[in-house]
Amino acid sequence: MEPEADEVQQIIRIDSELNKIRDYDILLERVLLEARRVVHADAGSIYVKEGDVISIKFAHNDTKQKSLPPGEKQAYPHFSIPVNDKSISGYVAMTGELLNIPDVYNLPPGLPFSYATAYDAKVNYKTTSMLTVPLKSQNNVVLGVIQIINAMGPDGKVEAFTKQDETLVTHFAANATVALQRAYMTRSMIIRMIRMAELRDPKETGAHVNRVAGYTIEIYERWAYTHGVGKNDLDKNKDLLKLAAMLHDVGKVAISDLILKKPAKFTPEEYAIMQTHTCSGARLFDDPQSDFDTIAAEVSLTHHENWDGTGYPGWVDPTTGAVLRADAEGRALKRKGEEIPIWGRIVAIADVYDALMSRRVYKEAWGEDAVLKEIRAMAGTKFDPELVDAFFDVLPRIHDIRERHPDSE
């Protein structure tokens, strides 16, 4: 059966709407919604391939959603499935082939996979028809899987998915694939930026950068827990914050080698130049529509600000250098307290802890007791006191991270 003219119109309209969405998470969820809507499916999920597993990104279920109070978003368990031929979605991820199954409880004999009924039991739902489509790049690499469940007939009964449904869902899957490819490319470019910064500054080793990012995530998770940040926001922010924390000193690429690699303490003039790495870093992330750029710019700009307003660079526009808030003499006012974005406040603690614990050209490493005493003493002056508490709450995890990323020398 050919799609009707108004259906084609509708698909074109949805495509152009999807094309306007820049945020990868929002786009994936919209693709799932539109793919379900166009084939009248009650439920569905989207998985993203991460190494040799696929992890669930979004799950929808209209029947379950209707039983919830309005405004409340359905919770679903987070899980990963191995990419192999034992499960339906694992098989599709492995082979890159679409599977259209009329009834998952009555699979024909001789198939390598079976349907995991435990999930239905857990969420109290009956899956029958299932259409599983790979999210495949042009060079046939599987990036994820979209799974559409229970085609609803006009009488409200579950039907099998048709050939036309296969075409429609495959069509929408292509939109999700483009988004995934874009996200992977962005990520690998960021990893290259981190390597580049490492080449420029011998003090910013891979180990230091990984430790600072690790500590940052631990402190943020603790903070997010006490502030009631939801699971979805938490996962997303953790992902972005980790890369942003790794890039905290990327602005040092703009500092002369004579200063950057000076094997002694800086003169006041050299120190003033060194401080510009905050603004230079922030300038690299000037896309205000990307959540990653916002976080990375804030980390770069504010990771040397102090809670009591004695840090740098203060209220300046990193792009133009213009003073945003001036004192009586026209100098930039310092940021203090919660004027400093949470990301900058967290990275500040992580960075200082790691710097004090490590040997530098101009100083020996301190013993940990002395470092912890110093951090405690700086609660309320250099650091946000609440975050200092969070840091001490997660100290055992901080030690784990330190052990996992030792300095190579």
* Bridge partners (DSSP) listed for residue 297: none
Q: Kindly state the smallest distance separating residue 301's Cβ from Fe ion, in Å.
A: 10
* CA–CA dist 378, 345 (Å, integer): 13
- Choose between 203 and 397: whose C-beta lies nearer to Fe ion: 203
Is residue 249 close enough to count as binding Fe ion by CB under 5 A?
yes
Catalytic residues: 252
* CA–CA dist 240, 234 (Å, integer): 10
Neighbouring residues of 91: CB distance < 8 A, sequence distance ≥ 6: 84, 85, 97, 99, 112, 113
- Choose between 30 and 252: whose C-beta lies nearer to Fe ion: 252
| Residue in the block written with tokens 């007791």 | 369
User: Of 190-198, 225-233, 236-244, 343-351, which part binds Fe ion (CB under 5 A)?
Assistant: 343-351
Question: DSSP letter at 159?
Answer: E
- Choose between 218 and 249: whose C-beta lies nearer to Fe ion: 249
Q: Kindly state the smallest distance separating residue 328's Cβ from Fe ion, in Å.
A: 29
Is residue 351 close enough to count as binding Fe ion by CB under 5 A?
yes
| 3-state SS assignment for residue 202 | coil
Is residue 201 close enough to count as binding Fe ion by CB under 5 A?
no
- Choose between 57 and 304: whose C-beta lies nearer to Fe ion: 304
Interface size with Fe ion, residues (CB under 5 A): 2
Is residue 29 close enough to count as binding Fe ion by CB under 5 A?
no
Question: Cα 117 to chain center, whole Å?
Answer: 31
Q: Kindly state the smallest distance separating residue 15's Cβ from Fe ion, in Å.
A: 44
* CA–CA dist 87, 170 (Å, integer): 20
Q: Kindly state the smallest distance separating residue 408's Cβ from Fe ion, in Å.
A: 16
User: Of 45-53, 246-254, 284-292, 388-396, which part binds Fe ion (CB under 5 A)?
Assistant: 246-254
Q: Kindly state the smallest distance separating residue 213's Cβ from Fe ion, in Å.
A: 10
User: Of 82-90, 134-142, 345-353, 387-395, which part binds Fe ion (CB under 5 A)?
Assistant: 345-353
- Choose between 130 and 349: whose C-beta lies nearer to Fe ion: 349
- 194 closest CA partner among 178, 215, 182, 210: 210
User: Of 155-163, 245-253, 256-264, 267-275, which part binds Fe ion (CB under 5 A)?
Assistant: 245-253
Neighbouring residues of 104: CB distance < 8 A, sequence distance ≥ 6: 88, 115, 127, 128, 129, 130
DSSP code per residue over 270-309? HHHHHHTHHHHHHHT---TT-HHHHHHHHHHHHTT--TTS
Residues making contact with Fe ion (CB under 5 A): 249, 351
